[in-house]
């Protein structure tokens, strides 16, 4: 039942619809009612279009109702029409008024999405979206949350469908269904001028494939038998749209080989062995290439080589214009216009004016110890933002950000939010976003906001591990990345961020063996904790249901922490031995695309002191101390009084003794034949 206006209710029944007037308390009209029991139409669910218009899911398809227009058939299954809905028993229905999409739960068949803008239908069933629950069970309810997730209630539980999932396309040996690679691991990738994808196989006896994604065609090249080493590939195109393929050694003592396929030819031809490069077997990243402003194809390495001229003709000789840098290993090039190309070497960054051939040291005040002992074995790549900021990806070290104007540098690592420091290739788009392949997905770094986003298998990534020298980008934003489970190709405009900051709550606080449920973003009561329970475990969670493993958190205990603590994806924390006092615990969270809810959630916590350190304990201590001092003073006073009394007595005794001694004769009389003896006994008490 739904309310249409102040006086009308629309009621679904097992035999049609009823319009009820609440003012007159009478049924005004009946719709779809049949007197034939075999033709009765069960009306089940409503989907609101506006206040007076609804879609109705029935046992005979979908009908549209209007208060003034009445009922009309909107959608019904039609045989031999692939664009029709799958069935007519519609037990669940939802209308997305923003996207103009009608979601239908078709009993025992799956879900249909009717796109009203272009009159097409997407079928979600066991063949296209393999979740058996939406096929074998009735769909009872369909709703959408504010993050665009579709929630589906079935007899077997609740399902979530994320229409934004897998934004980037993947090609490997498992998908898509209509075109599959003949290998799993890929190393080397290129997009040519026809938007064909060139991919190198990274397994024994593998070669290259050319994939036409539009016409679903795959062509193999350079597949060989009896390889005893796994090939690595570096694929590039020259100004004449010829394809160059650098392959590492696949048989012992054979060396690395360079192949070339002319634009109008059907096969690759071997044009060089890497040992031809001045007798030194160049490493794979020596074939980091760059097409100059005059359309020459050159390489990095030590020294740089000219591979082909502006007409696409094979040359292969040291590139004389970069002789000034011949004693340094060149990692990569990037041209940002105005004839200026930035050259990253093993020692520093240089600017090369291709018009005048002037080469200048860009950072004379800086030394780059980050490059030491890395030589040609590291996939160091440079990008430059507005001629002011250089961004260098260095495997194991992360991003080195160099301020070219102020001659300063800083490392951007996992401590700054980078999901991995094992970075390979990079590409800077026109929005100031640096795209990087890594061993943990494809990472995007926004230079202006300092925010990261990581594309993982949830977003369609072929896996987590990508390979070095295995990406390619076109001027219009088409990109391809190769990794351990195939390749991804997409346009950067297809990667849409989740712009909805997630709500976050504190779930619970655990103290000792007691769990205190919070389940709030602003808990009003203060959590009181005894002195012997001051080891606290705090759980929190963000309500973002898109790639929840990428939700991130920061927290702070105000009154104890000076700064925010990074929690990463861990949604709990523990504080041990918090001192007595009053605190406020705060937590903020971001969604899978780095959008932060800065309001966060808070809870107040009060740690009580131990009884012997409480205010009343200190009062007792103070009174006791005062009493002890009083007793001590009394004791000292008694001691002093006794001492004075003793001194008085001793003085008087001394005076009495002296008096007695004065009264005695100085000598005794001497009488013949008579001894005279005397005994003097002094006073022992006076007074």
State the chain's mean pLDDT as an integer. Answer: 88
Whether the per-residue pLDDT at 402 is higher than 70: the answer is yes
Q: pLDDT (tens digit, 9 = 90+) per residue, 485-496? A: 999 999 999 998
DSSP 380: -
Q: Which of 120-124, 319-323, 596-600, 675-679 is predicted with the least confidence, judged by mean pLDDT?
A: 675-679
The answer to whether the beta carbons of residues 124 and 112 sit under 8 Å apart is yes
Answer whether 201's CB lies under 8 Å from 185's CB. Answer: yes
Check if the beta carbon of residue 419 is closer than 8 Å to that of residue 398: no
Q: Is residue 390 a contact partner of residue 384, using CB atoms and an 8 Å limit?
A: yes
pLDDT single digits (tens) 318-369? 999 999 999 998 999 999 888 999 999 988 999 999 999 999 999 999 988 8
Phi and psi, residue 637, nearest 5°? -65, -40
Q: How many Cα atoms within 13 Å fall on the side-chain side of residue 532?
A: 3
Buried b (16+ CB within 10 A) or exposed e, 126-152: eeeeebeebbebbbeebebeebbbbeb
Can you give the C-alpha Rg of the chain in angstroms? 44
Distance (Å, whole) CA 59 – CA 17: 13
pLDDT in tens, 431-474: 999 999 999 999 999 999 998 999 999 888 999 999 988 889 99
Place of tokens 């190709």: 489
Strands 522-529 and 596-607: parallel
400 neighbors 391 (Cβ within 8 angstroms) = yes
pLDDT value at position 375? 46
Confidence of residue 282 (pLDDT cuts 50, 70, 90): low
pLDDT tens track for 565-623: 999 899 999 999 899 999 999 999 999 888 899 899 999 999 998 877 777 888 898 99
Q: Between these two residues, 509 and 126, which has the higher pLDDT value?
A: 509
Query: How does residue 643 score in pLDDT terms, banded at 50, 70 and 90?
Result: confident
Do 350 and 358 meet the contact criterion of CB atoms below 8 Å apart?
no
Would you say residue 542 has pLDDT above 90?
yes
Q: What is the model's pLDDT at position 562?
A: 93
Residues facing 551 on adjacent strands: none
Q: How would residue 74 be classed by pLDDT, with cut points 50, 70 and 90? A: very high
Neighbouring-strand partners of residue 390: 384, 402
210: β partners: 198, 219
pTM score, whole prediction = 0.74
pLDDT average, residue stretch 260-275: 90
pLDDT of residue 682: 56
β-pair partners for 318? 305
The secondary element (H helix, E strand) that includes residue 656 is helix 615-663
Backbone CA torsion sign across 294, 297, 301, 304: negative
Number of H helices, E strands in the chain: 2, 52
> Any idea what DSSP says for residue 671?
B
CB neighbour class for 481 (10 Å; exposed up to 12, middle 13-18, buried from 19): buried
Examine the pLDDT at 499 and tell me if it is beyond 50: yes
Q: Is the pLDDT of residue 666 over 80?
A: no
649 pLDDT higher than 60: yes
Whole-number percent of the chain with pLDDT over 90: 60
pLDDT of residue 677: 61
Q: How far is CA 148 from CA 100, 122, 160, 515, in A?
A: 13, 17, 10, 34
Q: Which of 507, 542, 546 is nearest to 144 (CA)?
A: 546
For residue 338, what pLDDT is reported? 87
For residues 528 and 544, what is the distance between their CA atoms, to the nearest angstrom?
A: 31
Q: Could you give the CA distance from residue 44 to residue 2 in angstroms, rounded to a whole number?
A: 12
Look at 292-296, 435-439, 640-644 and tell me which has the smallest mean pLDDT: 640-644
Q: How far apart are the first and last CA of the chain?
A: 120
Do 119 and 84 touch, CB atoms closer than 8 A? Answer: no
pLDDT at residue 663 is higher than 90 = no
So what's the pLDDT on residue 439?
93
Instruction: Count the Cβ atoms, other than its own, within 10 Å of residue 415.
Output: 10
What's the pLDDT score for residue 377?
46
Supply 285's token pair: 């990243």
The pLDDT value recorded for residue 157 is: 81
**Secondary structure (3-state) at 343:** strand
Q: Which residues contact 624 (CB under 8 A, 6 or more apart)?
A: none
More confident residue, 138 or 239: 239
Burial class for 319, CB neighbours closer than 10 Å (0-12, 13-18, 19+)? buried
- Of residues 284, 324, 313, 276, the one with CA closest to residue 300: 284
**Quick one: which of 227, 178, 179 has its CA closest to 199?**
179
Match 């898109």 to its residue by tokens.
Answer: 546
d(CA 241, CA 235): 12
Whether the upstream peptide bond of residue 303 has omega within 30° of 0, thus cis, is yes
What are the b/e assignments for 381-413, b being 16+ CB within 10 Å?
bbbbbeeebbbbbbbebbbbbbebeeeebeebe
Among residues 47, 123, 44, 31, which one has the least CA distance to residue 83?
Answer: 123
Average pLDDT over residues 251-279: 85
Return the number of other C-beta atoms located less than 10 Å from residue 644's C-beta.
Answer: 10
Convert 414-449 into a string of H (helix), E (strand) and C (coil).
HHHCCCCCCEEEEEECCCCEEEEEECCCEEEEECCC
Q: What is the pLDDT of residue 379?
A: 56
Compute the residue count for the chain. Answer: 687
Q: How confident is the model at residue 281 (pLDDT cuts 50, 70, 90)?
A: very low
* Mean pLDDT for the stretch of residues 406-420: 92
């Amino acid at each position: 039942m739904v309310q249409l206006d102040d006086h009308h209710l629309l009621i679904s029944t097992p035999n049609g619809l009823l319009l009820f007037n609440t003012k007159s308390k009478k049924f005004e009209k009946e719709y779809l009612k049949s007197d034939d029991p075999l033709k009765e139409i069960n009306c089940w669910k409503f989907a609101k279009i506006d206040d007076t218009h609804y879609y109705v899911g029935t046992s005979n398809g979908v009908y549209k109702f209007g208060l003034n227009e009445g009922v009309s058939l909107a959608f019904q299954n039609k045989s031999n029409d692939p664009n029709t809905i799958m069935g007519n028993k519609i037990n669940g229905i939802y209308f997305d008024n923003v996207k103009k999409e009608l979601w239908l739960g078709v009993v025992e068949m799956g879900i249909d999405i009717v796109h009203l803008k272009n009159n097409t239908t997407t079928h979600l069933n066991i063949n296209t979206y393999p979740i058996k629950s939406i096929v074998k069970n009735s769909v009872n309810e369909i709703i959408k949350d504010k993050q665009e997730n579709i929630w589906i209630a079935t007899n077997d539980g609740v399902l979530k469908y994320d229409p934004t999932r897998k934004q980037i396309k993947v090609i490997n040996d498992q998908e898509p269904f209509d075109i599959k690679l003949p290998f799993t691991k890929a190393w080397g990738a290129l997009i040519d001028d026809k938007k064909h994808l060139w991919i190198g196989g990274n397994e024994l006896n593998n070669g290259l494939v050319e994939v036409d994604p539009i016409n679903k065609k795959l062509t193999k090249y350079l597949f060989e038998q009896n390889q005893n080493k796994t090939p690595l590939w570096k694929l590039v195109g020259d100004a004449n749209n010829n394809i160059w393929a650098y392959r590492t050694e696949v048989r012992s003592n054979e060396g690395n080989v360079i192949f070339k396929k002319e634009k109008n030819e059907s096969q690759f031809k071997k044009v060089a062995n890497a040992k031809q490069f001045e007798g030194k077997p160049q490493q794979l990243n020596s074939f980091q290439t760059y097409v100059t402003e005059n359309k020459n194809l050159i390489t990095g390495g030590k020294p740089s080589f000219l591979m082909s001229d502006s007409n696409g003709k094979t040359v292969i000789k040291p590139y004389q214009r970069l002789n000034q840098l011949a004693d340094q290993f060149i990692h990569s090039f990037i041209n940002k216009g105005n004839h200026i190309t930035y050259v990253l070497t093993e020692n520093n960054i240089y600017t090369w004016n291709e018009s005048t051939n002037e080469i200048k040291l860009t950072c004379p005040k800086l030394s780059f110890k980050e490059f030491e002992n890395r030589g040609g074995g590291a996939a160091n790549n440079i990008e430059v933002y507005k001629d002011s900021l250089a961004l260098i990806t260095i495997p194991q070290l992360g991003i080195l950000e160099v301020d070219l104007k102020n001659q300063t540098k800083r490392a951007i690592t996992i401590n700054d939010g980078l999901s991995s420091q094992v970075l390979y290739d990079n590409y800077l788009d026109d929005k100031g976003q640096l795209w990087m392949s890594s061993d943990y997905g494809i990472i995007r770094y926004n230079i202006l906001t300092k925010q990261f986003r990581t594309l993982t298998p949830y977003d369609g990534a072929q896996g987590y591990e990508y390979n070095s020298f295995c990406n390619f980008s076109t001027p219009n934003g088409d990109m391809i990345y190769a990794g351990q489970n195939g390749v991804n190709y997409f346009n950067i405009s297809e990667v849409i961020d989740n712009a909805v900051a997630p709500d976050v709550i504190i779930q619970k606080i655990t103290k000792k063996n007691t769990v205190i449920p919070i389940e709030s973003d602003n808990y009003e009561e203060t959590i009181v904790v005894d002195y012997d329970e001051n080891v606290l475990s705090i759980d929190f969670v963000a309500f973002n249901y898109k790639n929840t493993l990428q939700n991130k958190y920061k927290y702070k205990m105000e009154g104890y922490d000076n700064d925010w603590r990074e929690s990463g994806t861990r949604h709990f924390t523990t504080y041990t031995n918090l001192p007595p006092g009053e605190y406020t615990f705060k937590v903020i969270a971001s969604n899978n695309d780095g959008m932060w809810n800065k309001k966060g959630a808070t809870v107040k916590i009060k740690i009580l002191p131990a009884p012997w350190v409480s205010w009343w304990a200190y009062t007792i201590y103070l009174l006791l101390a005062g009493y002890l001092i009083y007793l001590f003073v009394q004791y000292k006073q008694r001691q002093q009084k006794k001492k004075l009394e003793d001194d008085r007595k001793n003085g008087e005794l001394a005076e009495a003794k002296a008096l007695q001694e004065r009264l005695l004769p100085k000598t005794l009389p001497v009488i013949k034949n008579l001894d005279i003896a005397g005994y003097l006994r002094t006073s022992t008490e006076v007074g």
